[in-house]
Structure 1
Amino acid sequence: MNIIQRQIGWGMLVAFFVFVLLVVSFTISFPSVRLVDLWERNLMDIPFILFVPSVSLAIGLLFGVFSGFYWKKQFQSIDQVLHDVEEGRTFQINETGSFDEIKTAFERIRKIQKQITEQAMLSQKLANEKAEDQENRIQEIISQERNRLARELHDSVSQQLFAASMLMSAINETKAPADERETKQLRMVESMIHQSQLEMRALLLHLRPVALKGKTLQEGIEELLVELSQKVTMEINWKVEAFPLDKGVEDHLFRIIQESLSNTLRHSKANELEVLLINRDGFIILRVVDDGIGFDVEESKAGSYGMQNMYERAVEIGGTLKIVSVKNKGTRLEVKVPILKIKDEAND
């Protein structure tokens, strides 16, 4: 039963009480009038005995309908405001009710909205500080370790590949003409060694410290996708808009997209991948869509460290992360983060 039907029911109850009140009042005022006389007396060409219940019913019905629509409008206003707060939208609430209880409810919603906004701003500020502190502490360690691995690979595997390449080149140049099949195989071995050298050089470049520091999120994403598109057969399309972001938000979004792309490459078996980063209606929207085999989101959420990490990173910057996946249709990941201006406290 909706609010209008419920209020009409209350209106019928009001009509009954109005009818009883009119009958009692008439009986007290005119005790000598007989019941048969009420059929003979007319009001507005309607017998008095029918006019009274008709008026009572009309009053009750009008009361129920108008009060029902009034309360429906009030509850719809509250529901819409709560929905906007749930979605993270920040705005001034202008709706007010004519009852103190309604005004109190809206005032409490204002306070809740303010608290949520302050918590999101604080989360982003803490994320900024945490990201900067962690990057300062671990960047040097990562750089040293990558340089060590790159140096060891260069001094061992890379040098051996170079020697093998030189040896095969010398063999092919000095070897007397022989079987065409044998010559083709030797050329193929030389080509494979050369290709391995190229892969090793790419690996050595990849091992060098790569961080978002010094680059914007947009530059980091484009560089990552360009590099990825050169190494995989998957068709990759992207749309990345340029807009300023706080360091902590950039770092978390970059880690989320790295984890998402890693999962796509390892598990999706997709042929196409689309990446979107835009700023719309006060929200940062990051979307990654593939046409892969899909998976069970709820089952994977419980046992996947990577997915849990993405959810936590989104929450830390006051955002939300939603994943929709359909078997044999693909997967869609979307992160929405409200853009909030963090004011520095003068007394810090």
Structure 2
Amino acid sequence: MTKIIWRTLVLAIYMLTLTAFILYILWGEKVSNWEKLMNDYFYNLPLGGWILLCFIALSFVIALWSVSIATQKDRQIAKYLEELLHNDHAIHKYRQMPKKNKKALMAIDDLIQSQKKSLQRITNDKANIQEKKVQERLIQERQRLARELHDSVSQQLFAASMLLSATNETMGDSLPAHNAKQLMQTEKIVQQAQLEMRALLLHLRPIALKNKSLAQGLQDLIDELRQKVYFNIQEKLEEVSLPKGAEDHVFRIAQETLSNTLRHSKATEVQLLLVQRDNRVIFRLQDNGIGFSMLEEDEHAGSYGLRNVEERAIEIGGSCKIISLPHEGTIIEVQIPVEQEESTI
């Protein structure tokens, strides 16, 4: 209301000043002409008073009209801004908007969208950094546990196995059959505990590729296992072309399958194969262990590890095939498709 009053007064003054200037040009400075405005009455009101009232009324109407138009524009812009906050790119559907306002609001819209993208990128980067820190701490903790287990429990199991083996060799014939059998069983239990510990250490302290190729990393892993396991390992490893992420997954798959073989298969021979044929990378592990029934796979002790192998293979777009029969061994084969690079002429 204050805006209307002020605009009315300003417009009335402008109109009176303009009218007075026009009358001055027409009448000049003759007092008789100017007295007519105050002496000529119309409905008991001087002619000058009627002119003043008309100017005030006209000024009020113009002021009211201009304020209503400004208010309508303000509401329209507020509506557009509200739409921008709740609906992406809503500004483009308003075709009747003045070009000047539309251009400004589109600039605001672009700014809002860029700010949203920046915030999303910052949030994602922060989450990735946090996840990376958690993974690094987890790896460090697993490596610490692996070192402590290797330096304490693993060494003690090795010493106990050596003592039991020496006792069996020196006193086996002199002991009663019952005691000798119990001693042999104890030695086997300790040896199995050693295998379980080595498999656990393989999980806790995985050997990373460290800028090596997949074939080189697998070869290093096999060379290390040969010094710690009782079964014979035969390998055929060729250089393959896989992305870094896929190589890491295949390497973890190899660790998982070797760990399962170490803990559950009771195998004497293990064959490892890594080749690339027909645009596919093939990793295969085959052992001559006790195997298991595929129908009872969910109840098998190593089924959790096998599910991890299948999930890792699927994550890199590959497939996993598991074949096993009781007392016939197990075959685990993973195939990953390789994208061929298009040759340029």
- TM-score normalized by structure 2? 0.42
Q: Which structure would you say has the larger RCO, counting Cα contacts within 8 Å and 6 or more residues apart?
A: 1
